[in-house]
Amino acid sequence: MRNIVLLGAPGAGKGTQAVLIAKEYNIPHISTGAILRKNIQEGTELGKQAKSYIEAGQLVPDSLVIDIVADRLGQDDAKNGYILDGFPRTIAQAEALDRVTTIDLVLDINVPFEAIIERLSGRLVCKCGETSHVDWVDSDRKCPKCGETLFVRDDDKPETVRARLAVYEKQTAPLIGYYEAKGNLVSVDVDGSDQVEDVFEKVKKVL
C-alpha cells in the first residue's frame, strides 16, 4: 500500500498519524492545510486568497488546491508513494485526484465528537511543524522538538472549530461513501482514550 489518503474530521489526529506513517514507510507526508498555512505565513498570492476561508473555518475553493496537489504528486519523492492528509475534502477534489493518480488505500480515522472538541481546544502548534497539546507540555509551552514557544492555531477558536466540523459533515464526510463504493476504504475506530501510539498500532495493522 503506497498511495494513501487519510480521511477524518478536523482534530481526528490525521496530522499526528501522517507524520508517523511517513517515517515508518519512508514516504512524503503531503498536508494541504500545512501548505496553505505556509503560504499565508509567507504572504504569497495563494496565501492571500486562502486566508479568509481558513480563518472562517471554510474550505478554500477547489480550484486553489487541486493544482497544488497535482504538482506536488508529480515530484520525484512522491513516485514511490505518499500520504495525503487533508486532501481530498470534496467529491470534486476526489474526482480530480483520480485523474492524476491511483489511490491504493483510504484510511478513515473515526474519533468521537467529544474527544475532538477536547483535543482541538487544547492543541498547541509550533512553526517548526510540531503539534502538541496543553496537557502534554510544561507551563512555559516550549516546543519539545525545537524549543520555540508553542501557540494556538488561528482556526482553533471554539466558534471556528464548530464551523469546521459542520463543513466536514456537509462537504467531506460524503467521501466515505465515495471510497466505499470504490472498495478501497478502511476505517480505524479510535476511542477518546487511545494514545497516539495505540492508534498507530491500529493503523499499522491495516496498512
Residues that bind ligand AP5 in the complex, under the rule CB under 6 A: 8, 10-16, 32-33, 36, 53-54, 57-60, 65, 86-87, 89, 93, 119, 123, 131-133, 155, 164, 194-196, 199
> CB of residue 125 vs ligand AP5: minimum separation in angstroms?
8
**CA angle in degrees (0–180, nearest 5) for 135-29-109:** 60
> CB of residue 119 vs ligand AP5: minimum separation in angstroms?
3
**14 an active-site residue?**
yes
Catalytic residue among 99, 145, 164, 182: 164
Catalytic residue among 72, 127, 142, 153: 153
Residue showing the smallest CB distance to ligand AP5 in the complex: 33
Owner of C-alpha cell 466540523: 165
> CB of residue 38 vs ligand AP5: minimum separation in angstroms?
11
**89 an active-site residue?**
yes
The residue among 49 and 131 lying less far from ligand AP5, judged by its C-beta, is 131
Angstrom distances, CA of residue 28 to CA of 3, 25, 145:
10, 9, 19
Instruction: Tell me how many helices (H) and strands (E) the chain has.
Output: 9, 7
Instruction: Retrieve residue 32's grid coordinates.
Output: 494541504
The residue among 18 and 27 lying less far from ligand AP5, judged by its C-beta, is 18
Instruction: Retrieve residue 110's grid coordinates.
Output: 473515526
**123 an active-site residue?**
yes
**119 an active-site residue?**
no
Q: Cα(88)–Cα(77) distance, rounded to whole angstroms?
A: 20
The residue among 81 and 112 lying less far from ligand AP5, judged by its C-beta, is 112
Give 3-state DSSP helix, strand, coil % of the chain, rounded to 5: 55, 15, 30
Owner of C-alpha cell 477547489: 62
Instruction: Retrieve residue 128's grid coordinates.
Output: 517548526
Question: In this structure, what are the phi and psi dihedrals at residue 51, rounded to the nearest 5 degrees?
Answer: -55, -50
**162 an active-site residue?**
no
> CB of residue 144 vs ligand AP5: minimum separation in angstroms?
11
Q: Which residues are catalytic?
A: 14, 89, 123, 153, 164
